[in-house]
């Protein structure tokens, strides 16, 4: 991944140095297990414990061998002398590479989960802060009925909670290694040694393996990352809409010295949200590639290897950046409650049409008759913005005025009268309890 989107912690997890160090960890864990079984003598294990691998030397050897694991073994062997003959006993390349990849993915997943929890907490705080910030709810992009901005954020909060649960499960599934030999039969490495070595690496065991860990695990992990990205895109699309000039209910923070356009000095563009939307497309592409890797020939082929060298680091790095960016964006954004209220009131009460219809139904009128009466007044008000508002038309309609008093009509056109159950959603989510806003 390019430096622009690579944050230091995640970049370090997927660095070449870390990858080689994980390979070393695997080899050393297996050697320790062989030592416990008497196959490696004390003087050799002591040298193996401090073995290193110079990456540049490894690359030099790889130019000759065209095989990175062999180059790694030779470069590492040069640091331990004749003890090198005990390294990689009974193993095949995938035992090392797949197990090390599981360790990197495990560490990356834990880091992503911490990022996700941070974003969830930020969204939760904002939901509480705007629990009673009334705004217009939209369906099909059109004004529908009143809601609150906090309730909109509560929906995001709950979705992020679900994504966190999925990520926890994906982290469990990916944190599994295998040290089972060339076709997974444990012909040269007994199962108990595999279990001991993997436990030392804090990994689970692939209970039935071929030469590789099975790629359904990898596909699931990448799919979950893509799913989290889709949630972030959902958030970003909403912010982009709310920042439109015609809406202007919320916007990304625009700091002193920021510039939104190279051509138009007045512009304040939602560029961070647009970036989130774009990067989510990458994640979906990586997930598709992960599914393509599930079907390998027989006990393995190498078609997945080149793909995973790209998609695993990139997917984790991209989502890490997206979570960081979204947390910063939502933590610092600017909200305009007065504009929200003005937009809500701009239709002249059209958004209360269902309340009026239901009042007629409750009074005994046929639903379809009530619908047509209310619809006719709504369409007339919409067609003549300069004329009487929907509320005025309803108040003067004899079919309605004979049923509802002016006081009852005022209640029908009060947004808070139909937002009485907002608290219930926050109670279900356990939000706002600690700050007394519940």
CATH (domain of 364): 1.10.40.30
Compute the distance between CA of residue 75 and CA of residue 52 in angstroms, rounded to an integer: 8
Task: Write out the two tokens for 307.
Answer: 């793909």
Q: Give the pLDDT score at 303.
A: 81
> Helix %, strand %, coil % for the chain, to 5?
65, 5, 30
116-136 burial by CB neighbour count: b if 16+ within 10 A, else e? beebbebbbbbbbbbbbbbbb
Q: Which of 86, 119, 153 is the last residue of a domain?
A: 86
Q: Which domain holds residue 21?
A: 9-86
Q: Give the pLDDT score at 50.
A: 97
Q: State whether 141 and 205 are in the same domain.
A: yes
Q: What Cα–Cα distance (Å) separates residue 71 from each residue in 20, 63, 237, 301?
A: 11, 9, 48, 20
Residue-by-residue pLDDT tens, the chain, 438 positions:
788 999 999 999 999 999 999 999 999 999 999 999 999 999 999 999 999 999 999 999 999 999 999 999 999 999 999 999 999 999 999 999 999 999 999 999 999 999 999 999 999 999 999 999 999 999 999 999 999 999 999 999 999 999 999 999 999 999 999 999 999 999 999 999 999 999 999 999 999 998 888 999 999 999 999 999 999 999 999 999 999 999 999 998 877 787 777 778 888 888 999 999 999 999 999 999 999 999 999 988 888 888 899 999 999 999 999 999 999 999 999 999 999 999 999 999 999 999 999 999 999 999 999 999 999 999 999 999 999 999 999 999 998 888 888 888 899 999 999 999 999 999 999 999 865 443
Q: Give the pLDDT score at 312.
A: 96
Q: State whether 47 and 179 are in the same domain.
A: no
Q: State whether 200 and 336 are in the same domain.
A: yes
Q: State whether 241 and 315 are in the same domain.
A: yes
User: Which among 94, 143, 209, 261 is annotated as catalytic?
Assistant: 261
Q: State whether 81 and 99 are in the same domain.
A: no
Q: State whether 381 and 324 are in the same domain.
A: no
Q: What is the CATH number of the domain that holds 36?
A: 1.10.275.10
Task: Write out the two tokens for 127.
Answer: 């939901």
User: Which among 139, 140, 245, 406 is annotated as catalytic?
Assistant: 140
Q: Give the pLDDT score at 253.
A: 86
Tell me if residue 261 is catalytic: yes
Q: Which of 86, 121, 146 is the last residue of a domain?
A: 86
Q: C-alpha 65: how far from its chain's center?
A: 40
């Amino acid at each position: 991944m390019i430096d622009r989107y690579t944050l230091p912690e995640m970049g370090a997890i997927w660095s070449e140095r870390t990858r080689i160090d994980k390979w070393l960890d695997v080899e050393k864990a297996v050697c320790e297990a062989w030592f416990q079984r008497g196959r490696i003598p004390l003087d050799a294990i002591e040298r193996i414990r401090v073995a290193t691998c110079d990456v540049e030397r490894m690359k030099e050897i790889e130019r000759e061998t065209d095989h990175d694991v062999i180059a790694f073994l030779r470069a590492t062997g040069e640091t331990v002398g004749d003890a090198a003959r005990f390294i990689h006993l009974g193993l095949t390349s995938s035992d090392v590479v797949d197990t090390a990849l599981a360790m990197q993915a495990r560490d990356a997943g834990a880091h992503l989960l911490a990022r996700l929890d941070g974003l969830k907490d930020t969204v939760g705080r904002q939901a509480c802060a705007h629990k009673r910030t009334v705004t217009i709810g939209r369906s099909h992009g059109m004004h529908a009925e009143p809601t609150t901005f906090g309730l909109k954020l509560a929906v995001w909060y709950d979705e992020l909670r679900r994504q966190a649960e999925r990520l926890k499960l994906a982290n469990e599934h990916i944190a599994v290694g295998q040290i089972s030999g060339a076709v997974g039969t444990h012909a040269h490495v007994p199962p108990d040694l595999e279990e001991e070595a993997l436990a030392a690496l804090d990994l689970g065991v692939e209970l039935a393996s071929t030469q590789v860990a099975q790629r359904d695990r990898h596909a699931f992990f990448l799919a979950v990352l893509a799913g989290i990205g889709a949630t972030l895109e959902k958030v970003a699309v909403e912010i982009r809409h709310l920042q439109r000039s015609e809406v202007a209910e919320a916007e990304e923070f625009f700091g002193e010295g920021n510039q939104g356009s190279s051509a138009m000095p007045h512009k304040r563009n939602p560029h961070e949200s647009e970036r989130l939307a774009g990067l989510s497309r990458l994640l979906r592409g990586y997930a598709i590639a992960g599914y393509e890797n599930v079907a390998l020939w027989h006990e393995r082929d190498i078609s997945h290897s080149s793909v995973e060298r790209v998609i695993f680091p990139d997917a984790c790095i991209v989502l890490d950046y997206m979570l960081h960016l979204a947390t910063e964006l939502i933590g610092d954004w600017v909200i305009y409650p007065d504009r929200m209220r003005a937009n809500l009131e701009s239709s002249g009460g059209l958004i209360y049409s269902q309340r009026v219809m239901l009042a007629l139904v409750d009074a005994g009128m046929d639903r379809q008759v009530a619908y047509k009466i209310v619809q006719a007044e709504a369409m007339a008000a919409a067609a003549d913005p300069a004329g009487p508002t929907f509320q005025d038309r309803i108040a003067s309609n004899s079919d309605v005025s004979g049923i509802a008093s002016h006081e009852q009509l005022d209640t029908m056109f009060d947004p808070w009268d139909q937002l009485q159950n907002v608290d219930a959603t926050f109670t279900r989510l356990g939000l706002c309890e600690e700050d007394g806003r519940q």
